[in-house]
């Protein structure tokens, strides 16, 4: 396998499943054999997708045994995992991706997530932070980036813009670029750049 990306967060509502789905979509559209493993007990990814997508989507029981058959594996991890599960995921993953909303509660809460990774012995070189739900106004995103980088975290250059198209995509059971209007396509382009930043696509 070239890439195994574990998308993790101790905090809900930060775009974890949205990010996992759309990174998998870009990898699949680029021609990589791509698997998205829905590791969340609520199975948000499996519940979301009700249309054709360019990747395979499985739960943990079905997905883990066949990971070696794929070029790219994205794992939408359960929130609040016990330490042994975090350690196992960290060993499997080539990248641990931490979505974070650029507001102080989420940024400060990132310390708990990083502590969880440290306690599980995850190599900090694997860890990347993805800023999500960026309003594209004011200084919140720049300030969040500065605080996270000041704490020694590697923050991806591209932030994902906030758009109601994500909610509409979830309701419609499809990917965000298929939502009518330009906003969803712009979010999808943000994820395209993140996919490049992560080395998933050229």
Note the helical H segments in 93-159.
Answer: 104-119, 140-150
Size of the chain, expressed as the number of residues it contains: 202
Please indicate whether residue 159 or residue 119 has the higher confidence score (pLDDT): 159
User: pTM for the full model?
Assistant: 0.95
What ranges do the domains of the chain cover? 3-197
- Report the pLDDT value the prediction gives residue 44, as an integer from 0 to 100: 94
d(CA 68, CA 170): 29
Please indicate whether residue 16 or residue 10 has the higher confidence score (pLDDT): 16
Confidence of residue 192 (pLDDT cuts 50, 70, 90): very high
- Report the pLDDT value the prediction gives residue 76, as an integer from 0 to 100: 96
- Report the pLDDT value the prediction gives residue 1, as an integer from 0 to 100: 59
d(CA 196, CA 202): 6
The CATH code that applies to domain 3-197 is 3.40.50.300
Task: Give yes or no for a contact between 99 and 19, defined as CB atoms under 8 angstroms apart.
Answer: yes
Q: What is the mean pLDDT of residues 119-137?
A: 94
What is the rounded average pLDDT for all residues in the chain?
94
Share of the chain above pLDDT 90, in %: 78
Whose CA is closest to 15, among 73, 64, 79, 66?
A: 79
CA distances from 78 to 16, 43, 65 (A): 10, 9, 18
d(CA 53, CA 33): 12
d(CA 51, CA 69): 23
Of the listed ranges 17-21, 100-104, 111-115, 126-130, the one predicted with least confidence: 111-115
The burial of 176, by beta-carbon neighbours within 10 Å (0-12 exposed, 13-18 middle, 19 or more buried), is given as: buried
CA 83, 159, 37, 125: dihedral to nearest 10 degrees?
A: -50
- pLDDT surpasses 90 at 176: yes
């Amino acid at each position: 396998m070239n890439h195994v990306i574990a998308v993790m967060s101790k905090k809900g509502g930060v775009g974890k499943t949205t990010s996992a789905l759309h990174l998998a979509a870009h990898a699949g559209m680029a021609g990589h054999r791509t698997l998205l493993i829905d590791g969340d007990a609520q199975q948000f990814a499996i519940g979301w997708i009700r249309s054709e997508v360019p990747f395979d989507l499985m739960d943990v029981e079905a997905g883990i045994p066949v990971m070696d058959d794929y070029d790219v594996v994205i794992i939408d991890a359960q929130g609040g995992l016990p330490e042994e599960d975090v350690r196992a995921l960290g060993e499997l993953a080539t990248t641990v991706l931490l979505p974070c909303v650029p507001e102080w509660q989420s940024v400060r809460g990132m310390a708990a997530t990083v502590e969880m990774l440290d306690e599980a012995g995850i190599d900090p070189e694997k860890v990347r932070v993805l800023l999500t739900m960026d309003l594209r106004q004011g200084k919140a995103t720049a300030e969040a980036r500065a605080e996270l980088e000041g704490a020694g975290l590697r923050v991806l250059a591209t932030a994902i813009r906030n758009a109601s198209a994500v909610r509409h995509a979830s309701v419609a059971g499809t990917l965000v670029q298929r939502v009518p209007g330009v906003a969803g396509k712009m979010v999808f382009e943000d994820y395209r750049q993140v996919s490049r930043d992560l080395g998933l696509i050229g």
